Structure 1
Amino acid sequence: MGASTVTAGMGLRRATLFVRDLDRMRAFYEGVFGLTLYRELEVDLSRVKALPIGAANPESGSARFIILRGADPLVGMVGLMQVTAPALPEANHDVRRLGYGSVALVMAVKDADQAAADAARLGGEVIQPVTTARNIGDVAGEFVPVKMFMAYDPEGHFLEVFAPL
């Protein structure tokens, strides 16, 4: 049911994070994960009425939006959107306590130690230091040995980061 429509190049392309400071978050994701700019644009929110921004859909408003990508040209991209008007309300939950509605971004890197150091240097918070572990990571869904750490980006989005050994 539905699975037959997913072929190579199909499926999840991008996760978009709503952020307060797009420039700071761009520097973080470029500096830690080596992502590069794919697209940058200003969004007129009045043209996207179905997007539930803030407490109510605005009649007018704007956002800055960028898409960053890694080595694959179309899969695994991260979008960053900063609503510039109207101002968004603060989160009504503790973003540093995972629960329903939380998202974990799982990122693969070449060097977990360097990525953890970069994350801390660029304003992230490493909550589990780099350790040797196992992570689901091969094409068959089997566990592979990895070095990994867990962190929050500068705005509290949860990250699980690993480097295959």
Structure 2
Amino acid sequence: MATTLTINGSDHRIDAPDDTPLLWILRDELGMTGTKFGCGVGSCGACTVHIDGEAMRSCQVALGDVWGDVTTIEGLGTPDAMHALQAAWLRNQVAQCGYCQSGQIMQAADLLSQNPDPTDDEIDAAMSGNLCRCGTYSRIRAAIRDAATQMREEVL
């Protein structure tokens, strides 16, 4: 049975079993490879996307269980501009291998949507489920603070 999902603002007709992980739909069916496979059990955060604005591990959400619009790293910014977090990631030279970074950014975007001025402890708590093999946690925290400041200034 075909399912229609709204992903990054566009409707996509998906003809796959309802128990297919959303991660496989994004990567294999739609070619959106920014969302990464890490552990397959929802523990590393590399596959983080937003469903109705909430950070979710796409390896743990079945196609038939998707309850709202999906945003991937490819849809976080606009065609004309990166999201503030993406720009902050570059300014702060966060990525080393880069593999976890799309999931890190998507988790951070969820945090900043709920808390526009998080403390270091709040950042650490929100990001604790996203693993970075390279250990760039201090740069990740700095980039989140940088983006939060930029986003608050844009509102003013």
Q: Same fold (TM over 0.5)?
A: no
Name whichever structure is richer in helix by fraction: 2
Normalised by the length of structure 2, the TM-score is 0.25
Q: Which has the larger radius of gyration?
A: 1
- TM-score (normalizing by structure 1): 0.24
